[in-house]
Amino acid sequence: MAATPLSPPLAASSSSSCSTSCSAAFTPHLPVISPKKTAFLSSPSSSLSLGGARLTALIFKKRTFSEDVGFGGVKCVTSNAPSALPKALLFDCDGVLVDTEKDGHRISFNETFAEYQLGVTWDVDLYGELLKIGGGKERMTAYFNKVGWPDNAPKVKEERKQFVASLHKRKTELFMALIEKKMLPLRPGVAKLIDQALGNGVKVAICSTSNEKAVFAVVLFLLGPERAKKIQIFAGDVVPRKKPDPAIYLLAAETLGIEPSSCVVVEDSAIGLAAAKAAGMKCIITKSGYTGYEDFLNADAVFDCIGDPPEERFDLAFCGGLLQKQCVN
């Protein structure tokens, strides 16, 4: 499949059902002032193309630590330097490429528990809580440590580790079967943004806490073999510490030969955001089914999805614009 070159900025549109929220990080040392005194700098040279709408300034919603003290004053403008693109786009997999958690991974975990006759079922709400723990093996271990290990589980710690590994292996097989049958679709705009990146010489990688085979299946079967051979995957146990630790993003930047500050990450969760920011990277959040309530105060931008035209939320030009953004107090 041929890569799609980056299209020029689109004309402004007055009919869009998109809702976006772009958040500049609030820091405690900033002066607390009245909302009426908050100033935003704008000029024709600072416009960006964002999902078909031309913005003359980057205006960011802000939150404070107390509802009764007003807003922190932050002025955000883009630099006057020529427009640049990121050196790399780094995507999380679950919740970003595909909204896999509720009807993909959760179902596969439960089918595995049933096969092993563990008497365990993770309902939708419980699984949402467990997602705060990065990694499937880590998730199961934490759950069993809290509620008690099944009667047919090993009693010795090292044997339990192998037991969890066998559960996770079977769960991955069941999940891959769902992906191969294309039971779960790509999220809107994912293929578009990846094609824009590849068509403009921007490196693309997937950085996920999920099993490498599962991530590869998502990339191969849903993005297709032509894209898959151009995308590098960092997943599972490739690093010893999982998100929110930045290790996986730092490994990706090092392997790709790119400075972290030249990378833009697309994530959907608070732990993914923490990992990206700790790595020194810009991070865009595209909320997924389980993460809409999470705190994304430190994200560089927050959207409900990437989006395809005519419902496009952002594009590669917007990602490049984030690298040029300057915020001063």
From the candidates 68, 94, 237, 245, give the one annotated as an active-site residue.
94
d(CA 305, CA 204): 18
In tens digits, the chain (329 residues) has pLDDT values of 444 444 433 333 323 334 333 333 332 322 222 233 222 222 223 333 333 333 322 333 333 222 332 323 333 344 444 468 999 999 999 999 999 999 999 999 999 999 999 999 999 999 999 998 989 999 999 999 999 999 999 999 999 999 999 999 999 999 999 999 888 999 999 999 999 999 999 999 999 999 999 999 999 999 999 999 999 999 999 999 999 999 999 999 999 999 999 999 999 999 999 999 999 999 999 999 899 899 999 999 999 999 999 999 999 999 999 998 744 32
CB 220 within 8 A of CB 233: no
Enter the DSSP assignment of 23: B
Beta strands in the chain (DSSP E): 20-21, 32-33, 48-50, 53-55, 71-72, 75-78, 88-91, 203-208, 231-235, 263-267, 282-286, 301-303, 325-328
Q: What is the pLDDT of residue 83?
A: 62
CB 281 within 8 A of CB 256: no
CB 265 within 8 A of CB 96: no
Tokens of residue 62, six digits: 């802000």
Q: Which long-range contacts (CB under 8 A, 24 or more apart) does 53-62 make?
A: 53/10, 53/12, 53/13, 53/16, 54/9, 54/11, 54/12, 58/22, 58/321, 58/325, 59/22, 60/22, 60/23, 60/24, 61/21, 61/22, 61/23, 62/23, 62/24, 62/26
d(CA 127, CA 115): 19
Question: Could you tell me how many residues make up the chain?
Answer: 329
d(CA 141, CA 144): 5
Angle, vertex CA 142, rays to CA 137 and CA 148, nearest 5: 115
Q: What is the pLDDT of residue 16?
A: 32
Question: In the 3-class helix/strand/coil scheme, how is 33-48 assigned residue by residue?
Answer: ECHHHCCCCCCHHHCE
Q: What is the largest CA-CA distance in the chain?
A: 68
Active site residue 123: no
Active site residue 94: yes
From the candidates 68, 92, 195, 268, give the one annotated as an active-site residue.
92
57: number of Cβ within 10 Å: 16
Domains with residue ranges and CATH for the chain: 88-99+185-325 (3.40.50.1000), 101-181 (1.10.150.240)
